[in-house]
Structure 1
């Protein structure tokens, strides 16, 4: 790495033109000579004074005073130009970023020699996570299963883009697992100085239970994924609902699994989990078809119901257990998981009483609303949507949770838990005149995430592997990189130059007074 030498630079180089003032004292010393005393001798008394002036020759006198004045003006010109001493930037150390899952990978012992070599060459080893903490000097020699739990919800693309901005102009080497659940959102374009290598998450993660569904009371359907970094396939295995629990579930390519009951839920889990190994198969909750109803006021919310129906139908295909959807302008009488209330009138007490029994009630804005011009994000990684109208916010309860806020920080979606269910208040409507959410294509995903906040699509058990070509995308060579060069350090010399000019000014005044006193005495 080349280090630039220290150089003298100027903050305002144009001010160096002030050095032309050095001609002023030189002209004064050439043309402002004091006349000598005239002593008439013989016939010289008849010569005219004009002849004497024409015969006078130009020559410099008072050399010390002239040099002081030239140095004083030179320092003043330099002070105006803002001299500064540029110091060489310190060498930038390469950064090696490791996801916590790499430390729990079976490939970790094979990476240790490479990482030790990089550290000896001056690289810094850090976690690919919040704060980019430095790794300890003594790296573990074996996989650490507990470390992987520290970043179960970490999304690597966003962290990599953040690292490229946090360590400008430094070579970056990133080591992560290739699990698809850690690569969400839009893949960023990273600079060419970023190198990314993926490692397998676990030796036996080529097969996993993606979802467990109970479509009817006497049936169980298991969705098992088989894959690598080149392809992923899913297979369905159906069997009758067992008469007794726990019940063993033999599945090809998987360790022994079993179906157990935990409170009100049924769970598929490993029969003998090994606490000494990284978790390659999390517990899977057995899901039932989601029962959803949309109630709308036919006089005022027909358009809202149309957008809600289309979004729910699009989202239904992503539910492993499917969705039982009904859209009507009459109150539903069936037991529901979700009820979307599209009306200016609040839900009646009979409907609200079902919240404690497990109903999730989503109510949109009523009549009282105000026009706004702002935006909001319906999710941590969702695209911002435009907000045109919103209802007047009501005071929040003690247990209220604000899920969405607009750009001004005002609550937009509030959740109030009650019993086994919850009430959701959306302070806008599912209508294009109220927000861009119904028409920008995000509404199906928003409803999907809202109705299954824990793990839709079996996100916890998603062990799909990405190919290396899918992980990294470099920006084009002509794409400028922000903050590419580190800031140059400067030592400001202007105060010292000004101090030296003040000292020279004092010396100049002292010499000038002595000269005046000598001339007067003569």
Structure 2
């Protein structure tokens, strides 16, 4: 079908009247032939000369065609081509491939594929799924296609496949839906499937609050709500030990290296409750202080740790003393002008975390610093000089001038931290600005992600909402029309006609001159 990009330019076809008028009015004078009786012939000749006649038909047609082609070239002619049919895109999350709902989805997906849809991973690159997956009863998760950010992937898919129907199949686990839900177009239809076929219960956490007890946290959830219950048991006399919990498969408590782990007796990767859980134990923290110089520092640290104790995953065992500790510890906070003795530094090699504050030598400053990624800015009043940094040293805090304030240095299995100021109102604003409990909590548990790795909450289908109604026909999405641009070819034809018109005009001029 022929269309024009600029139809208004067709008004230039009115220029065809120009060569027509030229040919009508460009009359050549006739030759005078002397004959007798001119008296009777002159009136008839005058009547014939007053009539308009078209002459030089080939030249007229060439000029009309030339002007017509120029007008068409300006109008931008193009030939519309039938666009290829839009192939719907079906995006599957890796969790769907490994879920019990996969065999149930296979007939639907096979029908979509036969109707022309393309099946892809909801992951980086949106790679095509091999047809072999549709022939299998169960599917294996592709590790290269895994993703935790379904909102972002859905928005990326809508941009990557413009004007195409999109079907997205994912599980409804809350840990996959982080971030802000995007505004998806109506051509996107999202369906969630169950992540597991169990009773909706899972082991969330295991804690050993005292040496003779075990506390288990069990989560119960569906798309409407999530609840947790605590179960206490006596610590077993020997390991491994079988555990029986309501709505959960048989579990057992085993020793796994340096850790105590609760795992199913018969592992099943499709069940959330089959994931192993590390038994967390109270964090053992000791605060040593010099009673002559650092008693006030110890008072602020004690108050902050007690305020943050309830937020530690397994609780906190705190001891504050002016006598150096000798028992086994996880953390030791050394508040003194004197460095920690060699015996304490030797224990760092075997897993102790040592935090030592600044000594007596310090200089007055007026600057700010940020004690962590999520903490507010604090003021720094005094600081000590930094020791030369080793090859493995890492600067965790800096002041506003870029000078190191907290340095981390791994030693063996433990770590030594050097704080170049003190927890004292004359040294910094940390003790008085109210954020010291949060700073110490994040500092003492840097690698703890509370519940993120074991988050089995389910979102309701309305929260994952596909914005298009369920009965929206996919055929309502029309493919974009494709066009072949004819303007260059029309311009070329006009150039050829112009050259031909010049040749014909020159020949006629030469003939007339010779006559």
Give TM-score scaled by structure 1 length. Answer: 0.67
Q: Judge conservation of contact 1:223–1:235 (CA < 8 Å) in 2.
A: yes
Q: How does 1:170-319 map to 2 (within 5 A)?
A: 170-204=164-198, 206-274=200-268, 280-289=273-282, 319=312
Judged with a 3 Å threshold, the aligned counterparts in structure 2 of structure 1 residues 494 and 60 are, in CA distance, closer, same or farther, namely: same
Report deviation, 1:32: 2.6
Report deviation, 1:220: 2.2
Q: Does 1:98 align with 2:92?
A: yes
Q: Judge conservation of contact 2:10–2:75 (CA < 8 Å) in 1.
A: yes
Report deviation, 1:234: 0.9
Q: Judge conservation of contact 2:286–2:325 (CA < 8 Å) in 1.
A: no
Q: Which runs of 5+ in 2 are unaligned?
A: 288-299, 358-363, 378-388, 397-405, 419-434, 470-476
Question: CA deviation digits over 1:28-81, x for unaligned, max 9?
Answer: 212233322233545759999xx9699633332111101101111221232233
Judged with a 3 Å threshold, the aligned counterparts in structure 2 of structure 1 residues 449 and 77 are, in CA distance, closer, same or farther, namely: farther
Q: 1 CA distance for matches of 2:509 and 2:92?
A: 78
Judged with a 3 Å threshold, the aligned counterparts in structure 2 of structure 1 residues 362 and 9 are, in CA distance, closer, same or farther, namely: farther
Equivalent residue number for residue 9 of structure 1 = 4
Q: Does 1:83 align with 2:77?
A: yes
Equivalent residue number for residue 131 of structure 1 = 125
Judged with a 3 Å threshold, the aligned counterparts in structure 2 of structure 1 residues 214 and 153 are, in CA distance, closer, same or farther, namely: farther
Judged with a 3 Å threshold, the aligned counterparts in structure 2 of structure 1 residues 153 and 130 are, in CA distance, closer, same or farther, namely: closer
Equivalent residue number for residue 490 of structure 2 = 497
Q: Which runs of 5+ in 1 are unaligned?
A: 1-5, 295-305, 342-346, 371-377, 380-384, 387-395, 404-412, 426-440, 477-483
Q: Which residue of the other structure, out of 133, 138, 142, is the alignment partner of 1:143?
A: 138
Q: Does 1:467 align with 2:465?
A: no
Judged with a 3 Å threshold, the aligned counterparts in structure 2 of structure 1 residues 502 and 151 are, in CA distance, closer, same or farther, namely: closer
Q: 1 CA distance for matches of 2:182 and 2:444?
A: 26
- Classify the secondary structure of the residue corresponding to 1:460: coil
Q: 1 CA distance for matches of 2:174 and 2:493?
A: 66
Judged with a 3 Å threshold, the aligned counterparts in structure 2 of structure 1 residues 134 and 241 are, in CA distance, closer, same or farther, namely: same
Q: 2 CA distance for matches of 1:176 and 1:215?
A: 38
Report deviation, 1:209: 0.9
Judged with a 3 Å threshold, the aligned counterparts in structure 2 of structure 1 residues 473 and 37 are, in CA distance, closer, same or farther, namely: same
Q: Judge conservation of contact 1:100–1:150 (CA < 8 Å) in 2.
A: no
Q: 2 CA distance for matches of 1:285 and 1:520?
A: 110
> RMSD value over aligned CA atoms?
5.2
Q: 1 CA distance for matches of 2:449 and 2:513?
A: 101
Equivalent residue number for residue 382 of structure 1 = none
- Classify the secondary structure of the residue corresponding to 2:463: helix
Q: Judge conservation of contact 1:281–1:461 (CA < 8 Å) in 2.
A: no
Report deviation, 1:115: 1.8
Report deviation, 1:488: 4.2
Q: 1 CA distance for matches of 2:277 and 2:169?
A: 29
Equivalent residue number for residue 25 of structure 1 = 19
Q: 1 CA distance for matches of 2:447 and 2:150?
A: 21
Report deviation, 1:240: 3.3
Q: 2 CA distance for matches of 1:352 and 1:53?
A: 129
Q: 2 CA distance for matches of 1:86 and 1:424?
A: 72
Equivalent residue number for residue 65 of structure 1 = 59
Judged with a 3 Å threshold, the aligned counterparts in structure 2 of structure 1 residues 333 and 501 are, in CA distance, closer, same or farther, namely: farther
Aligned residues between the structures: 440
Give the stretch that moved more between structures: 350-359 or 227-236: 350-359
Q: Judge conservation of contact 1:202–1:280 (CA < 8 Å) in 2.
A: no
Q: Judge conservation of contact 2:93–2:146 (CA < 8 Å) in 1.
A: no
- Classify the secondary structure of the residue corresponding to 1:517: helix
Give TM-score scaled by structure 2 length. Answer: 0.68
Question: CA deviation digits over 1:367-406, x for unaligned, max 9?
Answer: 8999xxxxxxx79xxxxx99xxxxxxxxx99879999xxx
Report deviation, 1:336: 6.0
Q: 1 CA distance for matches of 2:417 and 2:479?
A: 48
Q: Judge conservation of contact 1:401–1:416 (CA < 8 Å) in 2.
A: yes
Equivalent residue number for residue 431 of structure 2 = none
Q: Does 1:512 align with 2:505?
A: yes
Judged with a 3 Å threshold, the aligned counterparts in structure 2 of structure 1 residues 78 and 60 are, in CA distance, closer, same or farther, namely: same
Q: 2 CA distance for matches of 1:278 and 1:315?
A: 34
Q: 1 CA distance for matches of 2:223 and 2:4?
A: 54
Q: Judge conservation of contact 1:168–1:486 (CA < 8 Å) in 2.
A: no
Q: Judge conservation of contact 2:170–2:193 (CA < 8 Å) in 1.
A: yes
